Structure 1
Amino acid sequence: MSLDKDKAVALLNQIMELELAGVIRYTHYALMVYGYNRIPIVEWLNKQAEEGLLHARKAGEMVTLLGGHPSFAIGPLLETHLHDTNTACSIPISNILQESLSNEDESLKLYYQLLELAQGKSVLVEEYARSQIVAEEMHTDVVKKMLRQPCEAGK
């Protein structure tokens, strides 16, 4: 049994596109934050954009490693505008984080599909997928903790 390189490359290109869209999304979010908590939140969002670029590069490297051509596209940039209310004085950070979670879920699905495709066929692709799943699940956990209220701790 050997890895279906065409399917792997297609998944990796989808991952790269989604990660690049995340770079734009997190950069946009960072520009939309106002208020006295702006500095640490913007710093965190910018860090997520940088991490997304690193993930996109890794996916692109895997594409070329498998003999494929990296996509020149960017994933969907659909905006819910939940964080862009014209009537409010401040943007609810929880809305930005909820948007972030839904995008993280999409990338996790792709990484899991890649893992399933590679299992028992390519240790290299398997390990790549596993390491990215760990990173994405850790990130998702951080966002979920940011969304929890202090009174919810331990529940």
Structure 2
Amino acid sequence: MTTHEYDRDAVLGVMNSILEAELAGVVRYTHYSFMVFGFSRIPIVSWLRDQATESLVHAQAVGEHITTLGGHPSLGIGKLLESEQHDIAGILRELLDHERMALGLYRKLLALVEGRDVVIEEYARQMIAAESHDISEVDKMLRAPGALQPFAG
């Protein structure tokens, strides 16, 4: 049951930041899919485009939550700055930063609603799990072959 014993404006603000970040993810992952060259291009492009689709699904989900709460989804888009480093490692480092930022937003959302709104709390937890999984995948891609320790960059 939803109790709404939380700061609705703060929750909507974080949700709109999430929406903007996820939409930026769509653009970012799509852009990087164009910039991959070399022998491993096909599987990496496929993975990047799958991630773009996942970001769009995440944006749609948070937009629906925003309107459920009576809010207005932002038409903004998050930061799209890039280092202009189009080697695979550079792209992955930028994506790791983006995923970590998104994870922080979902954690902020959870902190605002935890114990107060089971629907949004469950949504935030699911998204934290999804973003954490994405971070672990990028981390593994950044490791040297055979390295067991997490990427330290």
TM-score by length of 1: 0.91
Over 3 Å off, 4+ runs: none
CA distance in 1, matches of 2:116, 2:129: 20
Does residue 1:132 correspond to 2:142, yes or no? no
Deviation at 1:151, TM superposition (A): 3.0
Classify the secondary structure of the residue corresponding to 1:149: coil
Alignment root-mean-square deviation, CA: 1.3
Matching residue of 1:17: 20
CA distance in 1, matches of 2:149, 2:143: 11
Classify the secondary structure of the residue corresponding to 2:146: helix
Equivalent position amino acid for 1:20 in 2: L
Deviation at 1:82, TM superposition (A): 2.0
Does residue 1:96 correspond to 2:116, yes or no? no
Matching residue of 2:39: 36
Matching residue of 1:108: 103
Q: Which runs of 5+ in 2 are unaligned?
A: none
Deviation at 1:3, TM superposition (A): 2.0
CA distance in 1, matches of 2:59, 2:83: 23
Q: Give the fraction of aligned pairs with identical amino acids, expressed as a percent.
A: 50
Equivalent position amino acid for 2:97 in 1: S
CA distance in 2, matches of 1:65, 1:120: 19
Q: 1:35 to 1:110 in 2, by over 3 A?
A: same
Q: How many residues align?
A: 147
CA distance in 1, matches of 2:72, 2:78: 16
Equivalent position amino acid for 2:75 in 1: F
Deviation at 1:154, TM superposition (A): 6.3
Deviation at 1:120, TM superposition (A): 1.2
TM-score by length of 2: 0.92
Equivalent position amino acid for 1:33 in 2: V
Alpha-carbon deviations, 1:104-140, whole Å to 9, x = none? 1111111000000001111111101000000000010
Alpha-carbon deviations, 1:37-59, whole Å to 9, x = none? 11000000000000000000111
Classify the secondary structure of the residue corresponding to 1:150: coil
Please, which of 5, 19, 25 is the counterpart of residue 8 of structure 2? 5
CA distance in 2, matches of 1:151, 1:128: 35
Q: Which runs of 5+ in 1 are unaligned?
A: 84-91
Classify the secondary structure of the residue corresponding to 1:81: coil
CA distance in 2, matches of 1:15, 1:31: 25
Classify the secondary structure of the residue corresponding to 1:33: coil
Deviation at 1:149, TM superposition (A): 1.3
Does residue 1:70 correspond to 2:73, yes or no? yes
